[in-house]
């Protein structure tokens, strides 16, 4: 057997594999002898079938099978030994004059090679790394919401400015019949609010659905209609008032603090607000970290220039899936996936150059941390180590789950690396400012 590689250019190569009769004949002969021993052919005793008859029936398919096995094994071994970084899989070249009746065979495979490039971690313009702070308005709103949530409900005889209204919306034609509760301040416009004010239990109010609530999603929830229906719904509904109440806000006292955080953990209004601020900003970190990861990804793709073996990749995409694609379909798919492929190569190079890898022990500890946070949501804040080990073992035995957790852990490692090595500009913003700047 002889294997050679010819570089077409920096991104494309062809591997040629020559296989002679000496490479496969012993294995083919061994298999045919086994066939002869076990063959059940009418007119012959088992084990006494003439070899010429066995060869006539089985030699060619056995030869084809063994040559293909030898071909795949030798190609894989060659790629590993030569340390070739390839994209996709090798593509066999079509040979019009090929025949399995020959004694020796030559096969050629096209390769798409990973480009050689350097990653620039210091773009000219620094990337914004947002620090989202909980401003006074947000904290005041949060305090107000908590006071209402833990407040006392007081019945009212008629609807007023601060009322909680429980009732049933009905429209027979649209098959709407939904009992719901909402605050009057969620009703949109003075005209609609005026229809509610002064109403008593048992009163029926006729309303137009269009522009009834400050947000169409509220219309969806309170009328029990589909999302798409809510946006265009413009019909009359009858609303029957069932209950009217007002919330007396809970006092900011030790009893409330203990309910929220545990006995004696928070001891003053100042500590209460500081804790709310700290918890809110901790949650914001996940959003700012994800935004930073996205921004760095975009910047690396934009600033790291290299060519790809586009023609090879389009040919590979055409045959890689369950259904073969046309030339145009493969080209369209390549254009859709090119950006993602570029980042995969950039990420792979950063990981390799900086020894960023996920070990099994790290993955297990990461899985245990994930399990602990899940269990804490259901009140089990101190699970036993043995239990965590068993659950983590079960999760990691599932390849899809193990892959998903491994990707999350690698994202964390990359994020830490980017924070330490990429040119960043820390920008402090409120959550509203963050949303406006990032999501626009």
DSSP 380-398: --S--HHHHHHHHHHHHTS
Reported as a single tens digit per residue, the pLDDT across 361-395 is 999 999 999 898 888 877 777 888 999 999 999 99
The pLDDT value recorded for residue 8 is 94
pLDDT (tens digit per residue) in 148-177: 899 999 999 999 998 999 999 999 998 999
Tell me which residue has tokens 């790629």: 79
pLDDT (tens digit per residue) in 113-135? 999 999 988 888 899 999 999 99
Angle at 414 between CA 412 and CA 418, to 5 degrees: 120
pLDDT, mean over the chain: 91
The two beta strands, 127-133 and 424-430, are: parallel
Mean pLDDT of 337-353: 94
| Cα 317 to Cα 338: distance, rounded to the nearest angstrom | 12
Q: Which of 298, 398, 309, 272 is nearest to 112 (CA)?
A: 309
3-class secondary structure, 167: strand
**Quick check: 180 and 167 in contact, CB under 8 A?**
yes
Examine the pLDDT at 5 and tell me if it is beyond 90. yes
Give the number of residues written for the chain: 440
| SS3 label, residue 404 | helix
Neighbours of 237 (CB within 10 A): 21
Tell me which residue of 168, 139, 169, 166 sits closest to 153, measured CA to CA.
166
Burial of residue 134 (CB within 10 Å: 0-12, 13-18, 19+) is: buried
Q: What 8-state DSSP symbol labels residue 186?
A: G
Question: What number is the average pLDDT over the span 295-321?
Answer: 93
Q: What is the pLDDT of residue 44?
A: 76
Q: How far apart are CA 216 and CA 195, in angstroms?
A: 19
Closest CA to 414 of 274, 314, 293: 293
C-beta neighbour count of 72 within 10 angstroms? 11
Q: Parallel, antiparallel, or unpaired for β 176-183 and 163-171?
A: antiparallel
- Asked if 364 and 332 count as a contact pair (C-beta separation under 8 A), the reply is no
pLDDT at 54: 78
Residue 16 reports pLDDT greater than 80: yes
Nearest to 12 by CA among 354, 320, 310: 310
Domain architecture of the chain: domains with CATH: 2-113 (3.30.70.1050), 152-248 (no CATH), 283-439 (1.10.3120)
Q: What is the structure's pLDDT at 290?
A: 93
Q: Does pLDDT of 410 surpass 80? A: yes
pLDDT at 90 over 90: yes
Within 13 Å, how many C-alpha atoms sit on residue 435's CB side? 4
Q: CA 120, CA 19: separation in Å to the nearest integer?
A: 45
pTM given for the model: 0.71
Whether 105 and 67 have beta carbons less than 8 Å apart is answered as yes
8 A C-beta contact, residue 345 and residue 114: yes
Residues 267-291 have pLDDT tens digits of 999 999 999 999 999 989 999 999 9
Per-residue pLDDT of 228-250, as tens digits, reads 888 888 999 999 999 999 999 99
Select from 424, 426, 363 the least CA-distant residue to 395.
363
Q: Which of 283, 341, 348 is nearest to 309 (CA)?
A: 341
**What pLDDT shows up at residue 273?**
94
pLDDT higher than threshold 90 for residue 338: yes
The pair of three-digit structure tokens given for residue 177, joined into one six-digit string: 């019949």
Could you give the angle at which helices 360-377 and 385-396 cross, rounded to 10 degrees? 110
Residue 354 tokens read as: 């900086």
The β-bridge relationship of strands 12-19 and 105-113 is antiparallel
Q: What is the pLDDT of residue 262?
A: 86
| Residue 420: Cβ within 10 Å count | 9
**Strand segments (E) across 199-332:** 204-208, 236-248
């Amino acid at each position: 057997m002889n294997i050679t590689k010819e570089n077409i250019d920096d991104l494309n190569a062809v591997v040629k594999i020559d296989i002679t009769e000496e490479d496969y004949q012993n294995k083919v002969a061994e298999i045919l002898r086994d066939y002869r021993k076990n063959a059940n052919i009418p007119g012959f005793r088992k084990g006494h079938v003439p070899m010429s008859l066995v060869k006539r029936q089985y030699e060619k398919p056995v030869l084809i099978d063994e040559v293909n096995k030898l071909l795949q094994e030798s190609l894989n071994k060659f790629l590993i030994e030569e340390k070739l970084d390839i994209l996709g899989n090798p593509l066999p070249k079509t040979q019009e004059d090929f025949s399995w009746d020959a004694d020796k065979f030559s096969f050629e495979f096209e390769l798409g090679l990973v480009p050689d490039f350097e990653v620039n971690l210091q773009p000219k313009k620094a990337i914004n790394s947002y620090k989202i702070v909980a401003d006074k308005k947000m904290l005041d709103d949060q305090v107000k919401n908590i006071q209402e949530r833990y407040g006392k409900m007081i019945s009212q005889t008629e609807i007023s400015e601060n009322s909680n209204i429980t009732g049933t919306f009905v429209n027979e034609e649209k098959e709407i019949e939904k009992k719901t509760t909402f605050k009057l301040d969620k009703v949109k416009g003075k005209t609609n609010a005026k229809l509610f004010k002064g109403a008593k239990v048992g009163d029926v109010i006729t309303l137009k659905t269009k522009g009834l609530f400050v947000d169409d999603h509220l219309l969806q929830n309170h009328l029990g209609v589909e999302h798409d229906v809510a946006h265009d719904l413009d019909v009359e509904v009858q609303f029957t008032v069932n209950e009217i109440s007002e919330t007396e806000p809970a006092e900011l006292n030790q009893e409330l603090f203990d309910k929220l955080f545990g006995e004696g953990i928070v001891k003053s209004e100042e500590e209460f607000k500081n804790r709310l601020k700290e918890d809110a900003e901790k949650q914001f970190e996940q959003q700012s970290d994800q935004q930073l990861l996205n921004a760095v990804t975009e910047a690396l793709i934009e600033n790291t220039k290299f060519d790809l073996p586009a023609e090879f990749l389009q040919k590979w995409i055409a045959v890689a899936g369950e259904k073969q694609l046309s030339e145009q379909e493969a080209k369209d798919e390549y254009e859709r996936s090119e950006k993602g492929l570029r980042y995969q190569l950039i990420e792979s190079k950063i990981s390799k150059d900086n020894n960023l890898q996920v070990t099994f022990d790290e993955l297990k500890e990461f899985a245990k941390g994930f399990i602990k946070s899940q269990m804490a949501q259901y009140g089990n804040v101190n699970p036993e180590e043995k239990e965590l080990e068993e659950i983590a073992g079960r999760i990691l035995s599932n390849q899809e789950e193990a892959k998903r957790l491994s990707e999350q852990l690698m994202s964390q490692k990359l994020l830490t690396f980017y924070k330490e090595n990429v040119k960043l500009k820390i920008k402090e913003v409120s959550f509203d400012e963050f949303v406006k700047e990032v999501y626009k």
